[in-house]
């Protein structure tokens, strides 16, 4: 592979991973390859499809790669697991590109020392799902890991629903350091490892900070995560498993499992079949963010000062500031979506009232239709929301707040096309049956989310009502 690998994580952080060899996929076949991303990063992968399939499934370990599985812990649905780790993933190393350093990780590439009872494998549908949703997020301008390829392994794997074709997703990430990585060492009281991890994370992601500045790291991670979740909320993204092991210190969206996008706006929306309490419901994501960050603060506590009581006080002050910081970031996102330039004292009420008025209406279509409404054509908006007196009153208030730049602002902040759940599902079903056509068509559409509406109506409609509520299953 004409890639330059480096292994700074392995080099700097001994004792935080294990060397592991990926499984030998019997018949690797390239299902989708992100030539656009490779080009963007200046990665020269000018090999034939079979060689790429061999490398990106782990069947052949490319020259320079040193596959490892990372150790981490995590709170899953609130309960702590002291040992999770990469149970079905292999980090080949870091590729150093003109755009920066990226982990190249394979997921679904076989058992590791962290597999516990699992088979280390992944099914084609969920891996293609990670591919398309992460590429959609990137196109939406939201920080995320990127997908480089999905390779079918040529092996069937057993899942609840029966035998499914197996696959590996190859992804690039700013890193795979998670809140759970810190928790792993905190749970073992290995303060030296937490120090080393802090210094490493700072050097890699926040190089403006001093290596031992744990509080600075916490603040920097908080700022990025607050911004990230505010952006998720803006596009109606529900991650579905915001466990602490699925929250990256880099501030990227990571580990796409049972995630999905809102159709109708309902703050209580949950898609995942296993989230019975609604812990990771759409509107609960900011609260979970704060909860997860408090777990990070807890893991960093020994580094926050020699006096524990003072360290706790310091951390608590930071934690209390998260909710207002989030509200601010979210208002910023919503201002842009509503086409409000600058800031006005009346904005918060305008945004809050809008959100209560649109409950039950399609989130994406409604917001996008504000562009035409800002141009004096409110027909589509009122067709979606009904021309009730409160709606018309809101419209009048909103219009007086708009400047001439509003329509362009709205179109740049509100996608016409998102990966609609029913279309994703149909594309994955077809792909599992051997037809990549619908997947490729949907991929092309979601890669241009802010583009024109005309000619793309088929990708813009919410699911037909008779499909019933959408349910996702954990992507194992």
Contact mark string toward ligand AMP, 81..110, x via CB under 6 A: ---xxxxx----------------------
Query: Can residue 257 be called a binding residue for ligand AMP (CB under 6 A)?
Result: yes
Query: Can residue 146 be called a binding residue for ligand AMP (CB under 6 A)?
Result: no
Place of tokens 């054509």: 377
Selected range binding Mg ion among 4-12, 160-168, 249-257, 361-369, rule: CB under 5 A: 249-257
Q: What is the total count of residues that contact ligand AMP (CB under 6 A)? A: 16
* Residue 166 interface partner, choices ligand AMP, Mg ion, none, CB cut-off 5-8 Å depending on type: none
Answer for which of 51, 294, 440, 476 binds ligand AMP (CB under 6 A) is 476
- Check if the beta carbon of residue 96 is closer than 8 Å to that of residue 72: no
Q: Which is nearer to Mg ion, 34 or 81 (CB)?
A: 81
3 state DSSP class of 163: strand
Q: Which is nearer to ligand AMP, 28 or 126 (CB)?
A: 126
3 state DSSP class of 394: helix
Query: Can residue 86 be called a binding residue for Mg ion (CB under 5 A)?
Result: no
Q: Give the relative orientation of helices 347-357 and 389-401 as an angle to the nearest 10 degrees.
A: 150
* Nearest C-alpha neighbor of 136 from the set 465, 470, 427, 381: 427
Q: What is the smallest separation between the CB atom of 295 and ligand AMP, expressed in angstroms? A: 16
Query: Can residue 121 be called a binding residue for ligand AMP (CB under 6 A)?
Result: yes
Beta-strand (E) ranges in 269-362? none
Ranges within 56-85 binding ligand AMP (CB under 6 A): 84-85
* Nearest C-alpha neighbor of 31 from the set 159, 167, 155: 167
Ranges within 202-241 binding ligand AMP (CB under 6 A): 241
Query: Can residue 20 be called a binding residue for ligand AMP (CB under 6 A)?
Result: no
Q: Cβ-count burial of 268 within 10 angstroms (0-12 exposed, 13-18 middle, 19+ buried)?
A: exposed
Whether 119 is catalytic:
no
Q: What is the smallest separation between the CB atom of 240 and ligand AMP, expressed in angstroms? A: 10
Answer for which of 22, 58, 62, 120 binds ligand AMP (CB under 6 A) is 120
CA distances from 260 to 52, 236, 412 (A): 29, 8, 22
Answer for which of 145, 246, 284, 472 binds ligand AMP (CB under 6 A) is 246
Query: Can residue 103 be called a binding residue for Mg ion (CB under 5 A)?
Result: no
Selected range binding Mg ion among 168-176, 244-252, 412-420, 447-455, rule: CB under 5 A: 244-252
Q: Give, as one character, the DSSP assignment of residue 98.
A: T
> Between vectors from CA 24 to CA 119 and to CA 160, what angle results, nearest 5°?
25
Nearest-CB residue for Mg ion: 255
> Between vectors from CA 436 to CA 435 and to CA 440, what angle results, nearest 5°?
150
Q: Give, as one character, the DSSP assignment of residue 123.
A: B
Cα separation, 70 vs 54, in Å, equals 22
Query: Can residue 255 be called a binding residue for Mg ion (CB under 5 A)?
Result: yes
Beta-strand (E) ranges in 273-329? none
* Residue 119 interface partner, choices ligand AMP, Mg ion, none, CB cut-off 5-8 Å depending on type: ligand AMP
245, 255, 263, 275: the active-site residue: 245
Handedness of CA 452, 368, 410, 234 (dihedral sign): negative
Nearest-CB residue for ligand AMP: 118
Query: Can residue 246 be called a binding residue for Mg ion (CB under 5 A)?
Result: yes
Handedness of CA 122, 76, 172, 14 (dihedral sign): negative
Cα separation, 150 vs 34, in Å, equals 9
Q: Which residues bind ligand AMP (CB under 6 A)?
A: 84-88, 115, 118-121, 241, 246, 255, 257, 474, 476
Active site residues: 245
Which chain residues interact with Mg ion by CB under 5 A?
246, 255
């Amino acid at each position: 592979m004409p890639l330059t690998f480096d292994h700074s994580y392995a080099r700097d952080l001994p004792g935080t991973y294990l060397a592991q060899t990926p499984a030998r996929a019997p018949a690797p076949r390239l299902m989708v390859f992100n030539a656009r991303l490779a080009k963007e990063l200046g990665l020269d992968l000018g090999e034939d499809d079979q060689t790429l399939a061999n490398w990106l499934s782990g069947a052949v370990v490319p020259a320079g790669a040193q596959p490892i599985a990372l150790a981490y812990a995590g709170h899953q649905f609130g309960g702590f697991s002291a040992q999770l780790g990469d149970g079905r993933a292999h980090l080949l190393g870091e590729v150093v590109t003109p755009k920066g350093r990226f982990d190249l990780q394979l997921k679904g590439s076989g058992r590791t020392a962290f597999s516990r009872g699992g088979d280390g494998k992944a099914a084609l549908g969920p891996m293609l799902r990670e591919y398309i949703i992460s590429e959609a997020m990137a196109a939406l301008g939201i920080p995320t890991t990127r997908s480089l390829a999905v390779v079918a392994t040529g092996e069937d794997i057993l899942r609840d629903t029966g035998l499914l074709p197996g696959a590996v997703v190859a992804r690039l990430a700013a890193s795979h350091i998670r809140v759970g990585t810190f928790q792993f060492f905190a749970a073992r009281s290995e303060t030296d490892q937490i120090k080393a991890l802090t210094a490493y994370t700072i050097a890699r992601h926040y190089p403006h900070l001093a290596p031992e500045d744990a509080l600075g790291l916490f603040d920097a991670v908080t700022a990025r995560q607050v911004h990230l979740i505010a952006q998720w909320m803006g596009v109606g993204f529900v991650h579905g498993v915001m466990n602490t092991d699925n929250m990256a210190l880099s501030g990227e969206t990571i580990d796409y499992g049972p995630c999905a996008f809102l159709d109708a706006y309902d703050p209580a929306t949950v898609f995942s079949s296993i989230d019975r309490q609604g812990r990771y419901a759409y509107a609960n994501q900011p609260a979970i963010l704060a909860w997860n960050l408090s777990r990070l603060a807890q893991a960093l506590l020994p580094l926050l000062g020699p006096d524990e009581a003072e360290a706790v006080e310091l951390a608590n002050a930071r934690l209390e500031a998260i909710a207002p910081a989030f509200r601010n970031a979210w208002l910023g996102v919503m201002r842009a979506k509503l086409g409000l330039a600058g800031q006005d004292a009346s904005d918060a009420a305008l945004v809050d009232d809008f959100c209560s008025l649109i409950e039950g209406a399609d989130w994406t279509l409604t917001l996008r239709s504000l562009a035409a409404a800002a141009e004096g054509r409110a027909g589509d908006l009122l067709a979606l929301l009904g021309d009730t007196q409160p709606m018309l009153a809101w419209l009048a208030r909103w219009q007086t707040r708009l400047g001439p730049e509003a329509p362009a602002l709205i179109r740049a902040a509100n996608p016409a096309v998102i990966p609609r759940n029913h279309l994703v599902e149909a594309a994955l079903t077809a792909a599992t049956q051997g037809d990549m056509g619908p997947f490729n068509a949907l991929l092309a559409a979601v890669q241009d989310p802010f583009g024109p509406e005309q000619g793309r109506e088929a990708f813009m409609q919410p699911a037909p009502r008779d499909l019933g509520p959408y349910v996702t299953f954990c992507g194992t």
